[in-house]
Structure 1
Amino acid sequence: MSEQQKQPNIINCFQQYKQGIQNAFKILEEVDFEMPEEEVKQKVQKQIEDQKQPIEPKFISQADVKRALENFDKLICQLQLVTPLYSDPKYLNFESNDRTKRQTQMKHQQMWDQIKLQQKDRFARFQDQEIVESILELDSQLKEDYEYNFQFSSGSQKKTIQIKYHDVLKLNPPNYLNDGIINFYLKFIEFELLDESLRSKTYIFNTYFVEKLCPFDKLQTIQQNDNHRINELFKQSYEHIKRWVKEDLTEKEYLLFPINLPEHWSLLIAHKQSKSFQDSVIIYLDSFGIIDQKLVTIIKMYLHKMQCDKIQSDVNYNDSPIKQIPAYQLLVPRQVNYVDCGAFLLEYAESFLSNPNYLLSDFESPEGIYKLKLFPRTLVNKKRLLMKQLLIELVELGKEQALVNYKQRRQEIIESCYTNEDEYDKIDQDLFKEFLSQKNSISVNSEQQRSMLLDFYMNPQQNYYEQ
């Protein structure tokens, strides 16, 4: 056997990971529902009457959990629940004997809860323990009646985002950041960290917008290229959100869409390069290296609809130049635990708006896809700490001093990492060349090479944050 044959075949490994996903969740199709819904209700009601804690009906057994965990090491970035591939029937298929949608959802959640419980150490594996302790120590400065009201203007309206004690506790690892924290911080970036010139060109949507525009439970039932159903879904959804935004978004240059998938956050940015959305570009930033083209399509439809309403046009989306605007997934810093996607979303937004040209320059070239130095990993590792300090000081010291302290702390972290290459995500170019040679792809074009680079990039074996 030649040395080349002995070398690990990354493509085969990648396919094995996908097979692991199928195996891990195939067991859920075999689960029998032993308890009818009416019997469940009666049992829960009896427990309430007996002043006992109601027990949710179990649809999974310990054997189910054990089999799932045996395949867990082969799952790429928890594809079973947190990424757009959740909508791909190749990975999940629950069409067997499910009596109700709720039962299906309960199976998902129960399996996920069991995995999280038994994989607790892995969830915090890449957290610096000193940082974690610093975050938790701040709890002593919090009172249970904590409340902060962040006020800002949206068009002619005054709006308020209220943060309470339970929201601040979401900043403690290994919790996921909730909508309250995400929405507060995105608007804090927009109205407190941007200068007036950039703020006038920027609009950041709240987390509920894309959720309403692209209902995930409906989107996951649509095939990738089923444009007719995607269009019908958009028409229905648009009616729910068309009056949400009071500002004229056709005058904005940067539109930031936070995307809330099941247990995962990502960010889509639309950059309008001229007076028309047809001269736009979309970049999709996901800390697991995933992109969902159906989401991108619906965002394009939204841009098209805004443009038509502005100029009172009835041009069909399929005939619009906006349909052809490019969408790019750039290579940006990746997360390595299972809970920091919200922190990555916020740092993507803040780092992008600190220097938009870094992400938006040269991304069409083979080299331009590399945006791994968007921020150092220490900055995102300390994101929870920075935000918790900020929220405490907003109440204790007032907005002006809290803002000064926040900017100073963040800048000190960035400056301390400038000369440390190990602080930045990277790709081993020699291994990528090996990957290309194994694909027999010496003469691929730039678009094919970009696609293969993305496949290589999302392979967890090549994530140097883990080493």
Structure 2
Amino acid sequence: MEKNLIARRIADRIHIFDTLFYYNLTHRARESKAQTQNNEPYVLSDRCYNRVKKYTKGTNIFEKDFIIIPINKNGHWFAAVICYPSRDEFIEVIGKYPKRSCICFMDSTQSAHSRCGLAAPLRHFLAKEWESKKTTKKNFSESSMPEMYLKLPKQINDFDCGLYVLQNIENFLINPDYLIERICKDPAINLGVWFSFSSVSSMRRTIKRLIERKSKN
């Protein structure tokens, strides 16, 4: 379905995780009896990574420019976008727009600002994934990959967060390189008029048509 909502010209540059990825990455499962009995040290971030490493089997996310992660917290959906994860520096001028490594949070209630530690699991994942794919170590700290909490159109009810996630992602991917350049120059940039509520309503109708079309195939 997402292929119908994203500009084709950048489809090869993105990777989208499913809706369970962040939960599996952050959920604290109970230790197995074997781990408890052996009393062996086991780092939490390693255990979390082991639960999600299958998601990238056969895929090198560091060949992508944008990694999209849907997140659900307390019944509310929002999204994180990891931008240019393979860049070695915060600013690296390549082509028309500078490539700036960062993690953008897109939340239609702006409540992500008050949630601590959202990016930490993603940084752990990137470090372990880099080590797995590249067999070297790389630092994904906040100094090299800052967090950006975007000021976006706010939802006007308590149930359209999923639609806003899709609309935010679609708008983000229209011209992401230029947008990241603007955001990094001014992290407080106001994107509140990015789209209207009518666009969200239209998104609902689009999804309905896609579901109906898929059910007929």
TM-score, normalised with respect to structure 1:
0.38
2:46 to 229, 235, 251: 235
1:384 deviates by 1.8
Q: Aligned with 1:361: secondary structure?
A: helix
- The CA deviation string for residues 272-315 of structure 1, in whole angstroms up to 9 with x for no partner, is 07644876111101111022341211111211222222331256
Q: Aligned with 1:257: secondary structure?
A: strand
**Conserved in 2, the CA contact under 8 Å of 1:282 and 1:327?**
yes
Query: In proportion to residue count, which structure has more helix?
Result: 1
CA distance in 2, matches of 1:206, 1:367: 27
1:280 to 101, 105, 122: 101
Residues 306-325 of structure 1 mapped to structure 2, 5 A cutoff: 306-314=129-137, 320=139, 322-324=141-143, 325=145
Residues 228-307 of structure 1 mapped to structure 2, 5 A cutoff: 232-246=43-57, 247-272=59-84, 275-276=87-88, 280-291=101-112, 292-307=115-130
Please state if 1:373 is matched with 2:193.
yes
Count how many residue pairs are aligned between Structure 1 and Structure 2. Answer: 193
* Structure 2 match to 1:198: 10
Q: Which amino acid aligns with 1:307?
A: W
1:204 deviates by 0.5
Please state if 1:348 is matched with 2:159.
no
- The CA deviation string for residues 165-189 of structure 1, in whole angstroms up to 9 with x for no partner, is xxxxxxxxxxxxxxxxxxxx43543
- The structure number with the bigger radius of gyration is 1
**Conserved in 2, the CA contact under 8 Å of 1:214 and 1:295?**
no
1:240 deviates by 0.9
**Conserved in 1, the CA contact under 8 Å of 2:123 and 2:140?**
no
Cα gap change, 1:273/1:214 in structure 2, threshold over 3 Å: closer, same or farther?
Answer: closer
CA distance in 2, matches of 1:261, 1:268: 13
Please state if 1:337 is matched with 2:143.
no
1:390 deviates by 2.6
CA distance in 2, matches of 1:376, 1:217: 41
**Conserved in 1, the CA contact under 8 Å of 2:62 and 2:86?**
no
CA distance in 1, matches of 2:201, 2:29: 31
Query: In proportion to residue count, which structure has more strand?
Result: 2
Aligned CA RMSD, in angstroms, stands at 2.8
Cα gap change, 1:240/1:265 in structure 2, threshold over 3 Å: closer, same or farther?
Answer: same
Q: Aligned with 2:118: secondary structure?
A: helix
1:389 deviates by 2.2
Q: What percentage of residue pairs aligned between the two structures are identical?
A: 25
Q: Aligned with 1:370: secondary structure?
A: coil
Structure 1 residues without counterparts, runs of 5 or longer: 1-184, 219-230, 399-467
2:184 to 361, 364, 368: 364
TM-score, normalised with respect to structure 2:
0.77
